[in-house]
Amino acid sequence: MSRNAFIVMVMIAAVAAACSVATGMGARFGAGPMSHSDGWPDGLLDLCNSKSRVDGYWVNANTWCHFAGDAKAFNAFLNRYASLTPTPLRLILHPGPRRSNDGWTADKIVPSNWMLSILRRGWGAPEAKPGETGTYVVTLHLWLGGTIALQDLDVPLNVSVRSGTEIEKFVAEHEARQSLVPKEGGAEKPPAATPPGKPQ
């Protein structure tokens, strides 16, 4: 190999390394088996490798796994999720079917009903609060509609439930637009002044 060719190869490797640091490393692994579990809560890897998983990807220290199934399958999954430690246990409810592709399936959306987000502390997940331990925060997201309805859920008491806030944001944006519309009949008239000598 000539000296010039070697220099060019070194420069290409340096640019690639710089780009990977700037943009982050990641890969889509789909429904294939996973083996990475360094620092994960006990039982999480087996949960991610459930037969119901249909898609997944990782970026840097974080992982997202998507699953599909009916209410019975989800409740069974939820009960296994409720046994994970140490991580805050949180179920986030989203209205309607999942519509986003998370940037990893630009050509098509892989249908799914629920997702696990596995975020490393300091890499997307907040630092631990007093009394909290664990390197990762594992959150379960569920999109309602289709095969799973709200009334079908059986949520263990040690799992907190939160709204995905899509409905709240929609209502707030609608009310903000309403406030910009002039009231019918124009501006409200100020109250009439009380004539002198009459009690107010």
Phi, psi of 177, deg, nearest 5: -65, -40
pLDDT-wise least confident of 22-26, 32-36, 84-88, 194-198: 194-198
Contact between 45 and 34 (Cβ < 8 Å): yes
pLDDT higher at 110 or 86: 86
Q: How far is CA 81 from CA 2, 22, 159, 189, 192, in A?
A: 57, 34, 9, 59, 65
Q: How far is CA 158 from its chain centroid? A: 20
CA distance 150 to 83: 22
pLDDT tier for residue 100 given thresholds of 50, 70 and 90? low
- The answer to which of 35-44, 112-121, 144-153 has the lowest mean pLDDT is 35-44
Per residue, the 3-state secondary structure of 33-87, as one string, reads: CCCCCCCCCCCHHHHHCCCCEEEEEEECCEEEEEECCCHHHHHHHHHHHCCCCCC
Task: Report how far residue 70's alpha carbon sits from residue 151's, in angstroms, rounded to the nearest whole number.
Answer: 13
pTM of this prediction? Answer: 0.74
pLDDT at 161 over 50: yes
The distance between the two most distant Cα atoms of the chain, rounded to a whole number of Å, is: 107
Average pLDDT, the chain: 78
Q: 3-state secondary structure string, 87-151?
A: CCCEEEEECCCCCCCCCCCCCCCCCCCEEEEEEEECCCECCCCCCCCCCEEEEEEEECECCECHH
Q: Which amino acid is at 100?
A: S
Q: Which residue has the higher pLDDT, 166 or 81?
A: 81
Residue 107: both structure tokens together: 């050509």
CB 142 within 8 A of CB 155: no
Give the pLDDT confidence of 8-23 residue by residue, as tens digits.
333 333 333 333 333 4
State the pLDDT at residue 23: 44
